[in-house]
Amino acid sequence: QVHVAESGGALVQPGGSLTLSCAVSKNIFSINPVGWFRQGPGKQREFVAGFTDGDSPNYADTVKGRFTISRDNAKNTLLLLMNSLKPEDAAVYYCSAKSPYGRVYWGQGTQVTVSS
């Protein structure tokens, strides 16, 4: 009944930009927390960006100043605009959303590759 689905992953050259999208069920789209995580090769899943307090975004130090998280309210879609991509940004990116009852939902992930 609740669906979370990422899309937009691609192969990008270092310094390039890419926007990821996460379609979230209407009933939980506006509920915090909601955000993006990633898991690089040989690494554990880590927090990237999210909304935990109203519309004020939070970012991991590794992406602050380069990534921007936003909500497209008309489309019930969570976006992640990634600029100045680095090889270390290569990872499977996951979207998460939370129901009003506290259950956390995850998407299947979308692959971002940063290479020349």
Per-residue pLDDT of the chain (116 residues; tens, 9 = 90+): 789 999 999 999 999 999 999 999 988 888 889 999 999 999 999 999 999 888 899 999 999 999 999 999 999 999 999 999 999 999 999 999 998 888 999 999 999 999 99
pLDDT of residue 27: 85
pLDDT of residue 46: 98
Averaged pLDDT of the chain: 95
pLDDT of residue 28: 86
Core vs surface per residue 52-90: b (16+ CB within 10 A) or e: eeeeebebeeebeeebebebeeeebbbbbebeebeeebb
pLDDT of residue 26: 87
pLDDT of residue 29: 83
Amino acid identity of residue 70, one-letter, is: S
Q: What is the largest CA-CA distance in the chain?
A: 44
